Amino acid sequence: MRFKTKEQFISGYGIRKLGLVEYIKSLENEGLEDIKIQSTLIENRVVKSPRMLDRNWKFYLSIRNQIAWI
């Protein structure tokens, strides 16, 4: 399923996941590599633990190509 709007995404996953996806995508658009993005998430305490980093990163990778509004 491709998410054409933020509203579609929010109805499927919730507002917190939207913020996370948009934040990661903005870092990606700045030209950061995957490992640097992950370290930034930990450094800025966007994720609380390495376990949550892994879980959120895998979620992002699974929907990365399905978000059309960014």
Domain boundaries along the sequence of the chain? 6-64
Q: How far apart (Å, rounded) are the C-alpha atoms in residues 33 and 9? A: 25
Compute φ and ψ for 67, nearest 5 degrees: -95, 120
Per-residue pLDDT tens digits for 27-59: 999 999 999 999 999 999 999 999 999 999 999
Please tell me the pTM assigned to this model.
Answer: 0.87
Written in H, E and C, the secondary structure of 25-38 is HHHHHCCCCHHHHH
